[in-house]
Chains A and B, each alone.
Chain A
Amino acid sequence: MEQKFVTIDGRDIPIEGEKNLLEVIRKAGIDIPTFCYVSELSVYGACRMCTVEIEGRGLQTSCSTPPEPGLKVKTNTDAVRQIRRVALELILANHERECTTCGKSTSCKLQDLSRKMGVDKIRFRSIKKPMSVDDDNPSIVRNPNKCILCGDCVRMCEEVQGIGAIDFAYRGHDTMVQPAFGKGLDHVQCVYCGQCTRVCPTGALTPKSEINDVWKSLQTAGKTVVVQIAPAVRVALGEAFGYQAGELTTGQIVAALKMMGFRKVFDTCFSADLTILEEGNEFIHRLTEGLPLPMFTSCCPAWVKYVEQHYPEMIPNLSTCRSPQQMFGSVAKGVFAAEMGLKKEDMIVVSIMPCTAKKFEAKRPEFFTDGIADVDHVITTQELAQMINEFGIQFRNLKPESLDMPMGFKTGAGVIFGNTGGVMEAALRYVYEKVEGKTLENPDFHEVRGEAGIRECEVKLAGKTYTLAVIHSLANAKEIIRKIKSGEKKYHFIEFMSCPAGCINGAGQPVNFDPSYRKNRTKGLYEADKMLQLHKSQDNPYLKELYATKLGEVGGEKAHHLLHTHYNARRRMKGKSMVILDGQQTDKLEIRVCVGTSCYLKGSQDLLHHLARHVAAQGLQDQVQVKATFCFEKCDKGPTIKVGGKTITHCDVAKATAAVDKAVEDLKKV
């Protein structure tokens, strides 16, 4: 077949399946500027930065132009430069230009492109009124004053994560990106994955900082601060100090943390090994006892929140294992504090995570023991880089130091947790040996590795075939759950991670514009596994000792108490109820019928009609108030209604009318 070309600034560049002209231009080595173009999202064509001149067509946005053979494209004419500069000036006019105090400064695309395009004055004045900052949640800060309306966050949340917690609202110069009805992110269905902050080109969406809390803990007399480092951090932190993505800097991180005053520097990979033993064991237990399958991993807090909100009926499928972060916290305070001769309340546990949702996870009430948080502060990789800079540590000159024992010792299985497929592979390394009863010679399961958002494979264990799946991005999770529910697919075990490519691409990782960073970080973790002496969690000697001396059996009672948890159905939206009937009497009976998604799908709307008609038919309308409300967080047992103070789950018309009649009778007696 004849090769087809487009001409870019006089050079013929072959078309090799690129979906738009912009990709061809970038292939030609020209870094065309964009705000609203993110290759993993749909094309929006709003920011006009990628405008080019095409012979015979005039000025066109290259992101939304298909690469047709024979096109003659100029990327740097007077007209093109003029358009880009004016577009930037207009964006900057309405942007809160407080760069010196902005968390995104130096990693901001707007700042970067303004400098590159030589914008040196802004001729337009701002027409925006200051808007309030939304930071009432533990993970994300939303500052609409810095939003440039590129919509990257909106498309990320809807297309990649399938959630749609934020969207454009209003019109013209009033347009803004916000959660429904202008609520805060903590009042809507946001799962705190933070992928919106990852694609936000400005400081409009940023991870919430806990740095000051950590400094304070480090300087409080009588407190011993220990720290855990998540797997994905070690292959990304270096990027903030000029290293390539994927370069391991564990030793320098330890050295830096010691300089800052952390007493013990431990590794989340240790508790990842612990997770594997518990989770692998739980999987075998589920298989043999006929408990709910497929089993879903539960390491990713955004995924767990997503299930609680969107698929409460699937909660029994979630592994009861705490995530490695939380297992670390409960073992550190529940076992290790005593070993160090410390009272639990005198130990502070800090986590360094690639993730914004981990901040939310640490604050879940399930992870407080006797009123004390198992993990006190969670900072992101970005925040650690900030702390290193704040302290004045010359990271590149640090001599590597080693992690502390025992909780700093890990096998390669714990390290690959940060990659999509890593948890599954680590689990297989354990389950294989446990079920087959023989040594696994080659620990690599290449069939679960890869980049695709939905990957499936089969493994044979003791003569039986099991179907596994590895999923990343929540829109893919939605798709796979649909298939499970329709009976189209059957699986035994599924790994879920919310972020595309897994934790290495978490929202807390350093901002990186290089398209190959993801691959390099992934590779970095697999190489780190290779370099370690041990590759199977069950071979971790300190873990064996922990079980032998403290925890008892894997999956046993003590282990269960410290290492497992439970989940709850969770409402998506916080908001008002709809009043359907409102009686005149003052001491009227309150009847609330849930019309949230789960209950709605189970027929709560019909229930509401019948109930309202029953009330009218009995002449009770003055004595009751009937409301359609959103979610009692009992979605797995829906439809749910509340009559007076009494909750009725699995409700039907007969149950509902009987309950109302009885409550009205009781009210009369009083």
Chain B
Amino acid sequence: MPHVMLRKFEKVCAIVEKYDNDPAKLIPILQEVQNEYRYLPEEVMTFVATTLGLSPAKVFGVASFYAHFALEPKGKYVVRLCDGTACHVKGSDGLLQAMRKKLGLDEKSVTTPDMLFTVETVACLGACGLAPVVVINEAVYGQITPEKAVALLDEIRKKEDGTHVSA
């Protein structure tokens, strides 16, 4: 797929142009750029800084401030575990440990080497009635137990292995 990078680069140029190269629009620009790359690579941030006439330190400052922006590549499946008060009380920590153990991750390494899973915690997903809650990409799973969580991960891996085999 040699065209993917070119398409992404052209998209970045189009995004910056759409916002009239306006440095005040840095945040929406970074959001859209992240949609392309799924994270913000250093060289892409340097390029964005150049096009907006900002210093790269400023762009990095903004990108590193917001939890929404990812500075490292994320896995195909981003698992967001809620650790807000309600979920915490309902045992989210046990869930986190179970998933990390299953995937061989810890506080520092949050993405599996095969780039399939990223496990993060978030402060509150606003679905406290379903606590504890896990969101995998766009799908929400409520009242989840460590066993159920591990089963979900197994299911995804099985599906992915299947697509690889058939491909």
Contact = CB atoms under 8 A, between A and B. Distances in A.
A576 B46 CA distance: 9
A600 B50 CA distance: 8
B56 to A, nearest CB: 4
A180 B47 CA distance: 13
Interface string A611-624: 01000100001100
A582 B56 contact: no
Given A165-B57, A597-B50, A575 B43 contact: yes
A577 B46 CA distance: 10
B111 to A, nearest CB: 19
B9 A580 contact: yes
Interface string A166-187: 1111110000001111000000
A580 to B, nearest CB: 5
A583 interface: yes
A170 B6 contact: no
Contacts of B129: none
Contact of B9 (A158, A170, A578): A578
Majority secondary structure of chain A interface residues (helix, strand, loop or mixed): mixed
Contacts, number: 98
B124 interface: no
Interface in A604-663: 605, 608-609, 612, 616, 621-622, 626, 628, 630
Contact of B43 (A170, A178, A576, A621): A576
A189 interface: yes
Contacts of B53: 597
Given A169-B61, A597-B50, A573 B6 contact: no
Interface in B1-34: 2-3, 5-6, 9-10, 13
Nearest to B53: A597
A498 to B, nearest CB: 17
Contacts of B45: 180-181
B51 interface: yes
A609 B12 CA distance: 12
Task: Say which size band chain B's interface belongs to.
Answer: 20 to 34
Interface in A562-594: 573, 575-584
B46 A575 contact: yes
A339 B121 CA distance: 74
B58 A596 contact: no
Contacts of A583: 2
A646 to B, nearest CB: 22
B50 A595 contact: yes
Contacts of B50: 595-597, 600, 630
B55 interface: yes
A188 interface: yes
Interface in B34-69: 41-47, 49-51, 53-61, 64-67
Given A180-B60, A578-B47, 11 more contacts: A158-B58, A163-B55, A168-B61, A169-B64, A170-B64, A178-B57, A179-B57, A181-B60, A616-B3, A621-B2, A630-B43
Interface of A: 158, 163-171, 178-181, 188-189, 573, 575-584, 595-597, 600, 605, 608-609, 612, 616, 621-622, 626, 628, 630
Interface of B: 2-3, 5-6, 9-10, 13, 41-47, 49-51, 53-61, 64-67
25 contacts: A158-B55, A167-B55, A167-B58, A167-B60, A179-B57, A180-B57, A181-B45, A188-B57, A573-B56, A576-B42, A576-B43, A578-B9, A578-B44, A581-B5, A582-B5, A584-B2, A595-B47, A596-B50, A597-B53, A605-B13, A612-B6, A616-B3, A621-B2, A622-B2, A630-B43
